[in-house]
Amino acid sequence: MAILHGARVMVTGGEGFLGRWVVRRLEAAGAVVSVPRHQDFDLVDRAAARRALAAFTPRIVVHLAARVGGIGANQADPARFFFENAMMGLHVVEESRLAGVEKLVLVGTVCAYPRETPVPFHEDELWQGYPEETNAPYGLAKRMLLVQAQAYRQQYGMNAIYLLPANLYGPGDHVDLERSHVIPALIRKCVEAHEAGAATVDVWGDGSATREFLYVEDAAEGILAAIERYDGGAPVNLGSGVETSIHDLVFDIARATGYTGTFRWNASRPNGQPRRRLDVSRAERLFGFRARTPFDVGLTRTVEAFLESRTRA
């Protein structure tokens, strides 16, 4: 990628799940990548954001840093999820402007969409309602990134783009059951149940909710494609365009992990948003991105990586 070869790129959240894959892709494209570590630059503090920009002097900033988690984590710490994500975005964008950053890539979340968005979710529907209650504070904080990007583009001419990825999965995601998303949590539960000979695994909800899953390497590829070929102000979905029910997902993971027991559905726990599937046509039209990894392939790789990490540990 010509625009990236030799370019100084700062990736906030570059040590995180998606961030590590983005850093690898950037380095492979010849970029000079810097990652402000959280212990050195807590971006919730504006002064830390300013120091990071001064230390690394990037031409391009990719803002991935976020406080993230599954439904349980969002319900337990809604104020923290809202405050920290909102403040990180405000500080990174403003300090990037002041530092003269040429291009800013802001990565939002599918959780920003309204609860009752028509399926598939089109970017123009983003403001047609309130997000699903279980993760609304997080979703709204990330939605504010789009407002800020468009305001800065209008007033300052800042080249800030905004991407909306689907639910990510893949090797390297954290598996802490208090914080993890649905796929790593279920992989861990099924593997541990299989090893222990347990007859039953508990699952939140009734299985009726649907999600769209995007393999993390595909997401990183989409972000690089946008850096290279997209300079517009409109938000853009990144996804696979494939909708999977949690019920089907559970049995897919059981097969992939070798678990042969049963599942106990806990309908007293929330399903979250009823359905999720993105309209992914804008990304393909504007910068040629299309997810390439079939879900069964990505899931197999994810399970294998989890098993390998347990063996190393």
Whole-angstrom Cα distance, residue 296 to residue 3?
34
Contact 54, 107 (CB under 8 A): no
Distances (CA, A) of 56 to 24, 41, 289: 18, 12, 29
Nearest to 223 by CA among 13, 19, 8: 19
How many other β-carbons are positioned within 10 Å of the β-carbon of residue 261? 15
Q: Active-site residue numbers? A: 138
Amino acid at 256: A
Two tokens, residue 154? 């209008």
Residue 227 near residue 33 (C-beta atoms within 8 A): no
Q: Beta-strand (E) ranges in 13-59? A: 32-34
CA distance 97 to 260: 54
Sign of CA dihedral 118, 121, 125, 126: positive
